[in-house]
Amino acid sequence: TETLFESEMFGAVKGAYTDLNHDKKGRFELASGGTLFLDEIGNLNLAMQSKLLTALQNRKIMPVGSTKEVSIDIRLIAATNMNLEEMIQNGDFRQDLLYRINTVEILLPALRNRPEDISILTDHFMDKYVKKYRKPTMWLESGSIQKLIKYNWPGNVRELQHAIERAVIMSETSEIKSEDI
């Protein structure tokens, strides 16, 4: 919601809303001097886009319930899987915000278009989840790897990550077989 977005991004002062009994710094202030990553920026509604644009242009924010601006110094990284140019044409995304955030654009092809990355990512996720769930050393049988490479991955890397996490959790042996995927 717009109210939650403002509070999370810009912070809020004590008493700004029910049960807030202390000042709360927002993401912009917490990231000041560093980097702020906004994932799925294409999902913001126009009102939130406007507030984001104002903060980025002025390099100042106004915490909810405050009368004092807070200066910020952030590097912004934003990501989306939406076509922002198309959204601009449809009136769903502000062109001026795109110009503000689009200093350097990195287009990353879908996972299905870069199957050579699947085994690298799989190794990374296996290591991560074996440690997280305190499992013994685990590995994928070759049939599992082939199955992963052939799959279309409509959910991209997040879907692969979830599939590996589920396989690690559910596997009762050290070897993850293709039927476990």
User: Does residue 79 contact residue 41 with C-beta atoms inside 8 Å?
Assistant: yes
pLDDT, tens digit (0-9, with 9 covering 90-100), for 54-81: 999 999 999 999 999 999 999 999 999 8
- In 10 A of CB 118, how many CB atoms? 19
Conformation bin of residue 51: beta by default, left when phi > 0, alpha when psi is -120 to 50: alpha
Question: pTM, whole model, 2 decimals?
Answer: 0.74
Q: CA 103, CA 144: separation in Å to the nearest integer? A: 40
Planar angle of CA 11, 17, 23, nearest 5 degrees: 40
HEC string for 19-37:
CCCCCECCHHHHHCCCEEE
Distances (CA, A) of 135 to 22, 23, 59, 118, 132: 41, 42, 46, 22, 8
- With a cut of 50, which residues of the chain have pLDDT below it? none
**Helix axes of 2-10 and 46-58: crossing angle, nearest 10 degrees:** 20
- pLDDT given for residue 179 in this prediction: 86
Q: What is the pLDDT of residue 180?
A: 85
The per-residue pLDDT for 112 is 94
Q: What pLDDT is attached to residue 35?
A: 97
